[in-house]
Structure 1
Amino acid sequence: MIDLRHRRIFIAGRPRILLCGEIHYFRLPRTAWQDRLDQLKRAGCDTVASYIPWLCHEPVEGRIDLSGWTRPELDLMAYIDLCRDNGLYFIARPGPFVMAEMKNEGLPYWLYDKHPEIVPVGWDGQPATTRTVDVLAPHFLAAVRDWYAAVMVALVPRLRSRGGNVIALQLDNEVGMLSWCSNVPELTEHTLADFAAWLARRYAPETLRGRYPFDLDDPATRAAALRSPGEAYAAQFMRDLGHYQRGRYARYLATLRAYAEAEGVKGIPFLVNVHGTGGGRGFTYPIGISQLYEAYTQAPGYLPGTDLYLGNLTPDNFQDLYLCNALQEASQTRDQPLCSLEFECGDGDYGQMQGNRYDPSAVDLKTRMCIAQGNRLLNYYLFAGGTNYRLDPPPGDGDDRIAITGERHGVAAPVKADGSLSYTYPRMARIIRTMATLADKLADMDEERDGLAYGFIPDYFMTEAQYPKSAIMREIAANVQANRAYGAWESLARGMLLAGYRFGAVDVQNRPLDPVTVPVLALPSARYMDGAVQGKLVAWLEAGGGLLLYGEVPLYDMEGRPCAVLAGALGVEALGTRHSSERHYLSLCAEGWAAPRPEVRTHFAQVFAPGAAEPLLRLYGGGEVAAFEAQVGLGRAVVIATAYPCDVGLFQTALERLGATAGLRHDGPPGGVFMTSMANAAGEAFVHVLNLDGHEQGFRLFRDGRRLLGGRELRLPGREGLMLPVNLDLGEVRIRYATAEVVGWEDKAIEFRCLQPDAVILLETTREFPLGEGYTLHRRGRSVRVQVWAGVERLRVEWL
C-alpha cells in the first residue's frame, strides 16, 4: 500500500522521498531501454515515470497494442517489468490527454473523426483553437472508458499493492490548461445545459433571474447569451463559469478514477498534474491551482503535483519557486504532500537554437529548495530524449510523426536521444545522489516556519475565461492580475525571503483564519475582493491578527459591486488612484517609523485620507497617503497601497511590528542568499543555504538569535548550495554541526563535500577514529572536531 499521511508518502509503512525521471519508452528503441535506465540509476533515481499515449497504442479504433505486436517499443508491460528488474518503481501516466508535444495532445485521430461534437465551441460560437475536447461529453467518456479498461490490464497486475512496482497512476494531464491558454471555455450545448442546471441548484429562482436576464431554459437563447455575454451580466458570468468549471473538472477526474478502480486499481494514489508556470516565471502558476483544487481535495487518495518550468533559479525568480510550493501546499489537504510531476531538467535549448542554455546549477538549486520545503516526489522531466516515429496509418500532416517536435524529442534533456550526456547531467546527478543518501532523514522532516503566512485567494486566479468584447470582465481581470502576483512577488515576497522569513501560505478564501494559527498574514490585495473574504479578514484582525497588505485596499466585490468592508474597518477613506506619466514623476516620501528613507519613484498609488491611521508613505507635493498603519480591534494592519521597491528593511520592520520575527538570519549584505531550514520531531535538522548570485558570498548564520555552526563564517561560491546538518543522528555518530555537506553515509563512514577552505565538522560519539587523509582530529570526551585541510573538496571520515 502507498499511503498519504501527514504530508508524507508512506511505502510499506515508511516515509519516502521518491526521486524519479521521465523516460518515454515509446520514443526509444527497445534495445536502448536498459541503457537509459542505467543512466537513471547512476544519477541516483529510484523511480521511472512515463506517459502512456493513447495515440500510439490505438492509432486505429479497436486495434490496441500494449505488448509490442505492431512496434517493439510499444510493449508497455515489458518496460514496466524491466523497471522492476532494475529495482525501480514506476509511475503510469495514461491520459487520456498526455500533452508531451504529442499531436492531438495524445488523443487518437479517429476519436475526433468519429465524434466531432466533442470539440468545444467558445466565445461567439467559434470552434476551439486547440485540440481540447468537452471532457464530460458522453461519447468522449465512453471511448476513454474503453481505453482505461485496456491499459489497466497491463497496469493492475503490476501494482505495488499486488507485489509489483507501479506506485501511482496519473489521471489525465494538465486538465483545464488548453482552455485557459487559448481563452476558449467549453461552451458546447451539452456543457451549457449542465451549467444552467448548476445555476438552478446554486441560486434561488428570483436571484437567478436577476443575475441572468434571459431564459436559461431555452437552448437557443441560452447559447447565444452565454457565448456572447452582455455587459449587464458579464461579471457574474465570469465568476459563475469559473466556479462551475472547478466542479466540472472535479467530476471529470472522479469519473476517470472510477474507471480505473472498476478495473482493479487500488492501494496507490491518483496523481493530478497542476500546470501554470511559463516563461521562466511562476506568476500564472496559481491559475492551475484555482482550476483544480476542488478536484484533488474532493476525496482521499488524490495526490496533486506541480509543473515547474522556471529555468535558472536566480535573484529574479527564486521567490516564484518558493511561492509555487507554498500556495500549492495551502490548497491541499493536511495529508497530501508536496510533489512535482514535471520538474524541469536539462539545458533549456528546446528549439535547438544554441541559445537559452541553462546554467548547470539550475536543477541543483531548484531541487534543494523543493526538498527543503517538503517535496516528497520530484519527477525530473524530461530525463531522456528520444525519437518521434511515423504514425501508421499516416495522418498526412506534413511529417506523419507522433509529435510536433520533428524526428527528435527531448533535445534539451540531460540524456540525449542517442544516449550521450548533456553538460547538465553531472551536477544534476550529484544533487540527486546527495538527496538519495539522506532520503530517510529528509522524508520525515518538515520546513520550519516563522509566525507568518502568505495569503492566497484562489478567485484572484480565476481569470482563465474572459470574453474579449467585455469591458467589465477586462477591468476586473486586469486589476486582479496586476495585484495578485508581479509587484507583490517581486517586492513583498522576495523581501520577506531575503529577510530570512520561512513561511507557508494560507487559503484565506476557503480555510479557517484565526490569530492563533495565523498570527501574521502577508496578503497581496486587489481593488476587488469578495465581501465574505473581507469580512473574514476584519474578524481576524479584530481578534488580534497582524496584516501586511500590499497592493490595493479592496473597494468592490468580485463582480464589481461597491464593497468596502475592509476599508471601513481600517478607518480610512479612499480618495482614488494616482499614476505616473511621461512628464509626471510620481514619488513617495516616508514618514513615521518608515522614515528616514530616500524618496522613491513609483508608477501607481492608491491614496487615502488616513483618519486615525498613522501615515507611512505620502505622495510628494499633494501629501496624499499611500501607506499607513492602523489599529483594528486587538489587531493591527500595515497597508502599502502603492508599487514600492523591494526594501527588505521596510518589510522586515513592518512584520516585526505586527509580531513576526525571522528565525533564520545571516550577517552578510542583503540580496542573493536564500535560507531555510527543516527539522524532525527528534530535533535533527538541515539548514539549506543557496547563493543565487554569480560571485562568492561570506556570512555567518543565526537561528532564533543563536549563532549556528559555532559562529564560523561560511564562504559560499556563486551559484552553489549547501544542506548543512545540525544534530543529525547517523547511528553510532551524531553530527552536531558541519560547514560541509553530507554526500555519502555507510555503516562506519560518512562522506562530505567541502566548499569551505577551512571546513569544520563537529561529531559526538564514543567510537574511535583512525588517522585519515585530508583532515585533523581534535577529541574532547565524546566531542570530535574534524578540521578539514585547505583544498580538500571531498572527505571520507571513517571510524572503528
Structure 2
Amino acid sequence: MSTVLLEDRRIVIDGRPQLLLCGEVHYFRLTRADWADRLDRLRECGGDTVATYVPWLWHELPDGSIDLTGRTHEQRDLAGFLDLAHQRGLRAVVRPGPFIMAEVKNEGIPYRVYEQHPHLLPTTWDGAPISTRTVDYLAPEFLAAADAWYAQVMPVIADRLAGRGGPVVAVQLDNEIGMLSWVTNSPDLTDGLCADLARWAVDRYGKDGATQRVGADPTDPRAWATALRTPAEQQSLALHDDLGRYMRDRYRRYVAALRDSAERHGVRGVPMLVNVHGTGGGRGRTFPVGISQLFESYRGQPQLTSGSDYYLGDLTVTNVADLYVSNAFLAATHGPDQPLTCLEFEAGNGDYGEDLTVLYPPEATELKTRLCVAQGNRLLNLYLFAGGHNPPLAEPVGDGNDRIAFTGERHGFAAPVDPEGRLNSTYDAARRALHAVRGVADLLADGDEEHDGLALGFVPDHYLTEYAHPASTARTAQVSELERFRGMGSRDVLARALLLGGFSFPAVNLQSPPPADAPPVIALASAPTLGADVQRRLVDHLRAGGRLLLHGPLPERDHDGTPCTLLADTLGVTADGWMEGGLHYFPSVVGRDWAAGPAEVRVGYAQLLAGAGEPLLVEVGSGRPCAMEVAVGTGRALIIAADYPCHLGFWRAALDRLGVRRRLRHDADEPGLVLTSTVDRAGQRLLHLLNVAPSAIEFGLRHRDRPLLSGRRLRIPARTGLMLPADVRVGTATLVETSCELLSRSDHEVLLRPTQAEDVAVFATDRKVRADRGEVHVDGATVTVTIRSADHAPLRVAFV
C-alpha cells in the first residue's frame, strides 16, 4: 500500500518526491484484447502512469443501471482496465467527470439527464437558450444526478486506490469547468442562478449597493434577472465585473460539492485534481482566462491542485513564452503544497480533423516536455496517447451515427498510437522526451526552478473577460483593451523579451499578499484598467524599496469603471496624449541615457507622459517622453508606455537598470535560446538549455560569471534541448559538470549521453575512474573524461 501526498509543491509517494509520466488511454474506445498492447506501448514510451476518462454516458444503461465491470460490454469494464494497468506495473489517474468532453456527446452527460430536467440547459444573454450542452452546475437536480453517478463509480475507484494497494494515485473532479460558457460568450443565467447571484451581491454590497451596480432591485426576481440578462449600458462594467466574480465563487462551490461526494463514496487519501482550460490556436494568450475562472476552486485547498490543458502545437519563438508564462501564472495561484501538473499535454501530430491542414513536427513534444519539467511540473499526461474507436450508444438516439462521440467510428487520429495501434512519428519523440526525463527524474521530482530576482506580475482580474454582452459598447471596449495590453504585454513583447533575453522568473499574483520570498523586481504589463487593490500593492512595493518595470499605459480606472489613479499619482506621472500608428501616422521613438540606440524605432503606440521622471524614450513627432524612470522613496520604477519592439539588448538594459542580474549568460548572437536551471534540496543542479530557433546555435555559457565547462563552447541543433547535470552525487563521487546528459546512475557508475562533437565530464572523487571509451585525466581529486563521438552512443563511467 502507498501513501500519496502533495507537499511543498511536490507529489510525494511513500515519502519520496516522484514524477508521474502519464499517457491517456481510453479503455472504452478499445477492445479488451487491445488494452495490454496500449499499456505496454505506454511503458515502452517511458510512461509509468495511465490516465483515462470514465464516460457516464457510456456506463449508464437505458434502464438506469450502471455497468462498470463489463457485464454488458467488455469496453465498460473500468475495474478490469485498472486492474490490468496495475498488473502491467502502471499507476493510474482516473477522470470520472461528470463532464469529460473528449469529443463525447453531451460532454459525457447521459441524454436522460436533459430529458428529465430540461431546465438544466441554461438561458443566457437576453433570455436566449444556451448553444452548448452545459448545465447549471449547482442546480439541485444536477448535483443529485452527479452524486448518484459518483455513488456508483467512486467505490470502484476507491477499491483501487494506492492506499489500498491499487494503482490509482489521483482523481480528477469534472473537466474544464466553465469552458463551454466562456468560449460561446454565454453565461449561465437561469432563474436559480440569478436568484443566487442576488443573495451573493447583497452579502457583498448590501441591498442598495447591489441595486446600484446591477440596475435592479435584488428582491424583485423578475426585474433582477432581466437586468442581468440584458445589462443597461450605465451598469455594464460593474455588472460584468460582478458576474465574473460570482462565477468564480460558484465554480468553487461546485468543486467543493463534487469533492464532498467523492469522499463520501470512498475516494480519500489521494490528491484531487481540477483541470484548467484556455489555450487555443497554438497560443496560450487566453490560458489565464481559465486560471481566472477556476483559481478560487483550488487555491489553498488541501490535497487538491490544478492541472493545465496545453494545446500549443509547435514550440517556437512565437509561443515559447506562452508556455513559460502559463506555467508561471498557474503556479502563482497555488498554495505552498500545490504542485504544477499538466492533465492534457498535447502529444500528437495535430491532424485532428484528418484534413492535413497541420502537422506538428515531432520535436515539439520533446521541447514542451523539457520546458514543463524545468518549471516544476510533477505530472505530465500525454493527451491523447492512444486512439481508438467509438462504440455505439446502448440506445440509439437518431443523431446520424448513434455512437458515443461525434468524431465518427475512429477517434484519436493524431495520437502517437493511432486507433489501429500503429505508431506515428510523434511516438519516438515522446519516447525520447520521457526517457530523457526519466534519467534525471529524482532530480526533477525534488527540484525547483531557480530565478533571477524578478517576477512577472499576474492580475487574474485582467482575464475576467469571458463574458461581454453583445450590445454593450463599454464592455466590448474594455475587453479589447485588456486583451491588447495584459499578461505578456503588447504584442507579447514583455514576456518574450524576458525569456529569450536569458532571464528565468516566476509570476506573482498581485491580487494576493506577496509571499515572503517575493523577488525585489516586478515586471507588469499594465493596462488602463487595473484594480485599486493591485495599484495599492504596487505602491506599497515601491515605498518598501521595491522596483517596478511597468510596460503599457498608465492605469486610470478600476474594473467596474471607477476612476483610480493611485499608482500614477504615487509615481508623479500623468498621461498627456496618445499617439497611435495608423494609415497616416507612424510613431517612432528615440532613446535617452542608457536607452539610447543607434536609430529611432517605430512603435505601434506611444502614450505621452508628463511628470518629474527622467525621460527614457521620446516620441519623435511630438518630442514628448513616452518612457520615464521615476524614484519613489528608495524604490524605483521604469515606465515604458510604448510597445517597444523585442530588442533583447534594450530589455536586458532595462532590467539591469533595476538591478536584475542573469545567473546564466550566453554569448550567442541569434535569438532562440531559453536558459534556466533547477536545484534540489541537496544542491544537485540541472541546467536546462532549449533552442526553439529554426537553426543551430553555438555559444559559450557562464553561471554567475564563472565560465562553465572550462569555457568550452556548446552547440545545440535547431529545435532541441539539453539537461546538463552539475554537482550531482554518484555514490561517493560528484559529477561536477558535463556537456553530456545523464541517462542513469548508481553508487558505482554513471551512464551519460554525449551531445557535442567533443564532450567532457568532470568528477570530484578519490576513487579510480574507468570509462568504456575516451580519455581519462586525473588531477588530484579531479577526474576529467573527454570523449569524441560521432554517434553520441552512451558513455559508461565506473568508479572502482
TM-score for the superposition, normalised by structure 1 = 0.98
**Alignment partner, residue 742 of structure 1:** 742
What CA distance in whole angstroms lies between the structure 2 residues aligned with 1:469 and 1:486? 29
Question: What is the SS of the residue equivalent to 2:284?
Answer: coil
Shift of 1:314: 0.6
What CA distance in whole angstroms lies between the structure 1 residues aligned with 2:680 and 2:76? 44
**Alignment partner, residue 688 of structure 2:** 688
What CA distance in whole angstroms lies between the structure 1 residues aligned with 2:61 and 2:745? 49
Shift of 1:488: 4.3
**Alignment partner, residue 438 of structure 1:** 440
Shift of 1:749: 3.4
**Alignment partner, residue 484 of structure 1:** 486
Residues 170-189 of structure 1: pairs in structure 2 closer than 5 A: 170-189=172-191
Q: Residues 771 and 110 (structure 1 numbering): CA distance in 2 closer, same or farther, change over 3 Å?
A: closer
Q: 1:306 aligns with which of 296, 305, 308?
A: 308
Residues 437-516 of structure 1: pairs in structure 2 closer than 5 A: 437-485=439-487, 487-488=489-490, 490-512=492-514
**Alignment partner, residue 789 of structure 1:** 788
**Alignment partner, residue 331 of structure 2:** 329
CA contact (8 A) 2:487 2:524 kept: no
What CA distance in whole angstroms lies between the structure 1 residues aligned with 2:362 and 2:70? 37
Counterpart of 2:782, as a letter, is S
What CA distance in whole angstroms lies between the structure 2 residues aligned with 1:354 and 1:517? 46
Tell me, which stretches of 5 or more residues in structure 1 are unaligned?
none
Question: What is the SS of the residue equivalent to 2:794?
Answer: strand
Q: 1:344 aligns with which of 336, 346, 352?
A: 346
Counterpart of 2:534, as a letter, is V
What CA distance in whole angstroms lies between the structure 1 residues aligned with 2:745 and 2:418? 31
Question: What is the SS of the residue equivalent to 2:425?
Answer: coil
Shift of 1:240: 0.6
CA contact (8 A) 1:3 1:11 kept: yes
CA contact (8 A) 2:484 2:491 kept: no
CA contact (8 A) 2:539 2:570 kept: yes
- Asked if 1:262 is matched to 2:261, the reply is no
**Alignment partner, residue 638 of structure 1:** 638
Shift of 1:747: 5.4
What CA distance in whole angstroms lies between the structure 1 residues aligned with 2:494 and 2:598? 17
Shift of 1:428: 1.2
**Alignment partner, residue 555 of structure 1:** 556
Q: What are the superposed Cα offsets for residues 559-586 of structure 1, whole Å, 9 maximum, x if unpaired? A: 1222111111111221132211212112
Question: What is the SS of the residue equivalent to 1:759?
Answer: strand
- Asked if 1:536 is matched to 2:529, the reply is no
What CA distance in whole angstroms lies between the structure 1 residues aligned with 2:209 and 2:123? 28
CA contact (8 A) 1:59 1:108 kept: no
What CA distance in whole angstroms lies between the structure 2 residues aligned with 1:155 and 1:674? 41
Q: Residues 57 and 684 (structure 1 numbering): CA distance in 2 closer, same or farther, change over 3 Å?
A: same
Counterpart of 1:229, as a letter, is P
Residues 538-617 of structure 1: pairs in structure 2 closer than 5 A: 538-609=539-610, 611-617=611-617
What CA distance in whole angstroms lies between the structure 1 residues aligned with 2:213 and 2:394? 52
**Alignment partner, residue 135 of structure 2:** 133
CA contact (8 A) 1:499 1:665 kept: no
Once the two structures are overlaid, the 10-residue window that deviates more, 367-376 or 594-603, is 594-603
What CA distance in whole angstroms lies between the structure 1 residues aligned with 2:695 and 2:476? 44
Q: What are the superposed Cα offsets for residues 450-493 of structure 1, whole Å, 9 maximum, x if unpaired? A: 11000000000000111110111112111111111464462111
CA contact (8 A) 2:347 2:383 kept: yes
Q: Residues 678 and 75 (structure 1 numbering): CA distance in 2 closer, same or farther, change over 3 Å?
A: same
**Alignment partner, residue 521 of structure 2:** 520
Question: What is the SS of the residue equivalent to 1:158?
Answer: coil
Once the two structures are overlaid, the 10-residue window that deviates more, 433-442 or 189-198, is 433-442
CA contact (8 A) 2:500 2:648 kept: yes
**Alignment partner, residue 318 of structure 2:** 316
**Alignment partner, residue 427 of structure 1:** 429
Q: 2:62 aligns with which of 60, 63, 68?
A: 60
What CA distance in whole angstroms lies between the structure 2 residues aligned with 1:131 and 1:298? 31
Question: What is the SS of the residue equivalent to 1:290?
Answer: helix
What CA distance in whole angstroms lies between the structure 2 residues aligned with 1:580 and 1:798? 61
Once the two structures are overlaid, the 10-residue window that deviates more, 315-324 or 575-584, is 575-584
What CA distance in whole angstroms lies between the structure 2 residues aligned with 1:298 and 1:675? 31
Q: What are the superposed Cα offsets for residues 628-669 of structure 1, whole Å, 9 maximum, x if unpaired? A: 111112111101111111011111111111121111110111
CA contact (8 A) 1:592 1:614 kept: no
Q: Residues 174 and 186 (structure 1 numbering): CA distance in 2 closer, same or farther, change over 3 Å?
A: same
CA contact (8 A) 2:668 2:700 kept: yes
What CA distance in whole angstroms lies between the structure 1 residues aligned with 2:287 and 2:349? 22
Q: What are the superposed Cα offsets for residues 59-112 of structure 1, whole Å, 9 maximum, x if unpaired? A: 425221101122111100000000111111111100000001111111111111
Tell me, which stretches of 5 or more residues in structure 2 are unaligned?
none
Shift of 1:267: 0.5
**Alignment partner, residue 647 of structure 2:** 647
What CA distance in whole angstroms lies between the structure 2 residues aligned with 1:429 and 1:492? 34
What CA distance in whole angstroms lies between the structure 2 residues aligned with 1:487 and 1:184? 27
**Alignment partner, residue 277 of structure 1:** 279
Shift of 1:743: 1.9
Counterpart of 1:536, as a letter, is R
Q: 1:97 aligns with which of 88, 96, 99?
A: 99
Counterpart of 1:786, as a letter, is V
Q: What are the superposed Cα offsets for residues 398-457 of structure 1, whole Å, 9 maximum, x if unpaired? A: 111111111111110001111111111112101201211221121111101111000000
TM-score for the superposition, normalised by structure 2 = 0.98
Counterpart of 1:309, as a letter, is Y
Residues 689-728 of structure 1: pairs in structure 2 closer than 5 A: 689-728=689-728
Shift of 1:298: 4.8
CA contact (8 A) 2:349 2:361 kept: yes
Shift of 1:596: 2.7
**Alignment partner, residue 30 of structure 2:** 28
Residues 614-625 of structure 1: pairs in structure 2 closer than 5 A: 614-625=614-625
CA contact (8 A) 1:749 1:796 kept: no
CA contact (8 A) 1:691 1:697 kept: yes
Shift of 1:718: 1.1
- Asked if 1:211 is matched to 2:194, the reply is no
What CA distance in whole angstroms lies between the structure 1 residues aligned with 2:521 and 2:82? 48
Shift of 1:719: 1.1
**Alignment partner, residue 234 of structure 2:** 232
**Alignment partner, residue 386 of structure 2:** 384
Counterpart of 2:442, as a letter, is D
The total of aligned residue pairs comes to 797
Shift of 1:551: 1.3
Q: Residues 84 and 91 (structure 1 numbering): CA distance in 2 closer, same or farther, change over 3 Å?
A: same
Shift of 1:770: 4.4
Question: What is the SS of the residue equivalent to 2:727?
Answer: strand
Counterpart of 1:234, as a letter, is S
**Alignment partner, residue 413 of structure 1:** 415
**Alignment partner, residue 754 of structure 1:** 754
- Cα-Cα RMSD: 1.4
**Alignment partner, residue 192 of structure 1:** 194
Shift of 1:538: 1.1
What CA distance in whole angstroms lies between the structure 1 residues aligned with 2:306 and 2:472? 34
**Alignment partner, residue 353 of structure 1:** 355
CA contact (8 A) 1:137 1:190 kept: yes
CA contact (8 A) 2:488 2:495 kept: no
What CA distance in whole angstroms lies between the structure 1 residues aligned with 2:88 and 2:302? 31
**Alignment partner, residue 113 of structure 2:** 111
CA contact (8 A) 2:214 2:227 kept: no
CA contact (8 A) 2:468 2:476 kept: yes
**Alignment partner, residue 779 of structure 2:** 780
Q: Residues 512 and 710 (structure 1 numbering): CA distance in 2 closer, same or farther, change over 3 Å?
A: same
